Amino acid sequence: MKTLLVLPALTLALSFTPAHAGLKDWLKKKFFIPKVADSHVVYGKSSKGALNPKNVKVFVWNIYKASKKGFLGDFARHAKGSDIFMLQEGVINNDMDRALGLFPGHRFDMGISFINRSKKGDLATGTVIGSNVEPNYVLIERTKDLEPIIKTPKANTVGYYPIEGSDKELLIVNIHGMNMAGDEAFARHVDQCLEHIKNHDGPAIFAGDFNSKNDVRINHMVRGMHKTGMVPVLFRDDKRRKSKFSRAVIDYSFVRGLKIKDAWVLGKLKTSDHMAMVFEAEISDL
């Protein structure tokens, strides 16, 4: 309820108060958007040269900026043994450093969407892909659309990972979907991500917090996945995050060229407002 009430109130303030220009300047300074060239941050170093196609464990979680008490323990316990990490609302701070440091032999690539500047310091946030395998290539890109009021984009982190015994690569696309900007902005964001999958000859994973909070968004997403050969991962113990208002599922994992061996949701986590999705798969498109 708070989000829905605050945004219209702030919109009215921007439209009708004499301080309109001053408030806009303040928001622009507070929510700073660095150049894309300066928005790729790398933590750690991978210990392996290629993925084992027989078994790939993937851990997908919106971590709520690693801000809740007990996050480190949950992250260490539940992400153990993961070959691929796909995190949304990753941050650059001491807690995140400690969390990623729990997984030596992994490289984490973060794409910064924006930096929140405050008296406590700058807090950069974005999407993160991690792996124990060195990527062949990582791309950071942003949405052209911006979230309203604060005027910030979303960042996609896209990685290409080598596979043992194959010339093909596993494409990984991590999304934190457009939220308040509207359904058309959401559709453009999904299409931007799907373009990488459309042009990729090989297996792919497309997962994250889609913010697919209504039927219009879900239908567009499903059509796009169908066109590119992506299929949803079906989870046991399925307690994925749902929209508080529509009750639509907003966290998804889609795959192409992978055979799912097991998939589950960590439905009892209390260290984020989202539940982690975990699945183990065999890469079949070699």
DSSP conformational letter for 171: E
- Reported residue count of the chain is 286
135, 109 contact by CB (below 8 A): yes
| pLDDT value of residue 14 | 53
Residue ranges per structural domain of the chain: 1-30, 33-283
Q: In this structure, which CATH number among 3.60.10.10, 3.30.420.40, 3.30.300.30, 3.30.70.100 belongs to the domain 33-283?
A: 3.60.10.10
pTM beyond 0.85: yes
pLDDT digits (tens, 9 = 90+) for 115-139: 999 887 899 999 999 999 999 999 9
Question: How far are the Cα atoms of 31, 75, 97, 120, 260 from residue 123, in angstroms, in the given order?
Answer: 10, 20, 13, 9, 36
**Rounded Cα gap, residues 232 and 235, in angstroms:** 9
Residue 10 binned pLDDT confidence (cut-offs 50, 70, 90)? low
**H helix intervals, the chain:** 2-16, 20-30, 71-78, 94-101, 183-198, 215-227
Q: Please compute the mean of the pLDDT values over residues 205-227 and round it to a whole number.
A: 98
Two structure tokens written together for 32: 């700073």
Q: What share of the chain is helix, strand, coil (3-state, %, to 5)?
A: 25, 35, 35
63, 95 contact by CB (below 8 A): no
39, 63 contact by CB (below 8 A): no
pLDDT of 2 over the 60 cut: no
pLDDT of 12 over the 60 cut: no
